[in-house]
Amino acid sequence: METIKELRQICQVSRPTIWGDFLNRFYYKVSIYFTYIFILLKLKANYVTILSGLISLLGGFLIAQDSKILTIFGFLCFHLFAILDMCDGEVARYNKEGGVNGHFLDWYMHFITSFALMCGLFISSL
């Protein structure tokens, strides 16, 4: 198995340009460790994408609850979604399995995430 430094070369050097804000730089630094685990578990990139969507649905559900602690955990789920959203591309680049289906699934999970966040905020505001 490659080291984290080697994985950065394989998975992150060819990645599309990421934004220069602090949060995306943070996600960029952290995502490789999750990618390492997913590669060890031999997960395909599409499974990581589906996992990220499930995490965002959980986040929306937690935000909808009438508890400040659960709301905090819900928002942490959305941060975890952003990290996993980077991991799916890194796993795909590592396995050389990129394709239209993966791009579509990734794009679709962004809609699921927006839906989960809006529904969670709406329900909690009631």
pLDDT the model gives residue 16: 64
CB neighbour class for 57 (10 Å; exposed up to 12, middle 13-18, buried from 19): buried
pLDDT of 17 higher than 70: no
Q: Which of 79, 94, 95, 93 is nearest to 30 (CA)?
A: 79
Read off the pLDDT of residues 43-99 as tens digits, 9 standing for 90 and up: 999 999 999 999 999 999 999 998 999 999 999 999 999 999 999 999 999 998 888
Share of the chain above pLDDT 90, in %: 67
pTM of the entire structure?
Answer: 0.90
pLDDT the model gives residue 39: 96
Residues ≥6 apart with Cβ < 8 Å to 21: none
Distance in angstroms (rounded) separating the CA atoms of residues 58 and 45 = 20
pLDDT of 21 higher than 90: no
CB neighbour class for 63 (10 Å; exposed up to 12, middle 13-18, buried from 19): buried
- 87 or 25: which carries more pLDDT confidence? 87
pLDDT, mean over the chain: 91
- Torsion sign (Cα): 42, 45, 49, 52: positive
Name the helix (H) or strand (E) containing 89: helix 68-95
